[in-house]
Amino acid sequence: MIAGLGAAGTVLVHSTDWARAAARVDASVADRVVEQGHFVNANNSDFPWTLFPAYASDVREGQKLSFAIADKPYTPSSAEGLDDYHCFVIDPKFVKDGMVTSVNIAPGNAKVVHHVILYKIEGAAVTAALEKNRRSAGKGWTCFGGPNVGSPGSGGNWLGAWAPGSSGGALPVGLGVPVKAGSLIVMQVHYNLANGSAPDLSSAELVLAPEGSSLKVLRTNLLFAPVEVPCAADLSSPDCNRDAVLIENGQKFGAISEAIPRFLLQGCNRTLADYANAGDASRVSTSCDNPVRTDATLYSVAGHMHLRGVDIRLELNAGTNAAKTLLHIPKWDFHWQGNYWFKTPVEVKKGDTIRVSCTYDNSTGNQPMIGDKPASPRYIVWGEGTTDEMCLGVMMSSPK
Interface ranges with Cu ion (CB under 5 A): 390
Residue 283: C-alpha distances to residues 174, 230, 261, 314, 362 (Å): 42, 10, 20, 18, 8
Residue nearest to Cu ion (CB): 390
Shortest distance, position 154 Cβ to Cu ion, whole Å: 15
Peptide bond into 53 cis (omega under 30): yes
Q: Which residue's CB is nearer to Cu ion, number 304 or number 355? A: 304
Q: Which residue's CB is nearer to Cu ion, number 352 or number 389? A: 389
Q: Which residue's CB is nearer to Cu ion, number 76 or number 92? A: 76
Q: Which residue's CB is nearer to Cu ion, number 235 or number 396? A: 396
| Residue 353: count of CB within 10 angstroms of its CB | 18
What is the C-alpha separation between 142 and 188, in angstroms, rounded?
Answer: 9
What is the C-alpha separation between 267 and 270, in angstroms, rounded?
Answer: 8
What is the C-alpha separation between 6 and 70, in angstroms, rounded?
Answer: 8
Judge contact between 369 and 306, C-beta under 8 A: no
Helical pair 256-267 and 242-253, crossing angle rounded to 10 deg: 130
Burial class (CB in 10 A: 0-12, 13-18, 19+), 88: buried
What are φ and ψ of residue 19, in 5° steps?
Answer: -60, -40
Phi/psi class of residue 212: alpha, beta or left (left: φ > 0; alpha: ψ in -120 to 50)?
left
The H or E element that residue 346 is part of is strand 340-348
What is the C-alpha separation between 390 and 195, in angstroms, rounded?
Answer: 21
Q: Which residue's CB is nearer to Cu ion, number 175 or number 390? A: 390
Shortest distance, position 308 Cβ to Cu ion, whole Å: 12
Shortest distance, position 23 Cβ to Cu ion, whole Å: 30
Q: Which residue's CB is nearer to Cu ion, number 316 or number 390? A: 390
Shortest distance, position 384 Cβ to Cu ion, whole Å: 7
Q: Which residue's CB is nearer to Cu ion, number 145 or number 345? A: 145
Q: Which residue's CB is nearer to Cu ion, number 114 or number 120? A: 114
What is the C-alpha separation between 360 and 373, in angstroms, rounded?
Answer: 20
Q: Which residue's CB is nearer to Cu ion, number 138 or number 164? A: 164
Shortest distance, position 63 Cβ to Cu ion, whole Å: 32
Shortest distance, position 146 Cβ to Cu ion, whole Å: 12
Shortest distance, position 390 Cβ to Cu ion, whole Å: 4
Shortest distance, position 304 Cβ to Cu ion, whole Å: 6
What is the C-alpha separation between 322 and 38, in angstroms, rounded?
Answer: 23
Shortest distance, position 305 Cβ to Cu ion, whole Å: 7
Burial class (CB in 10 A: 0-12, 13-18, 19+), 223: buried
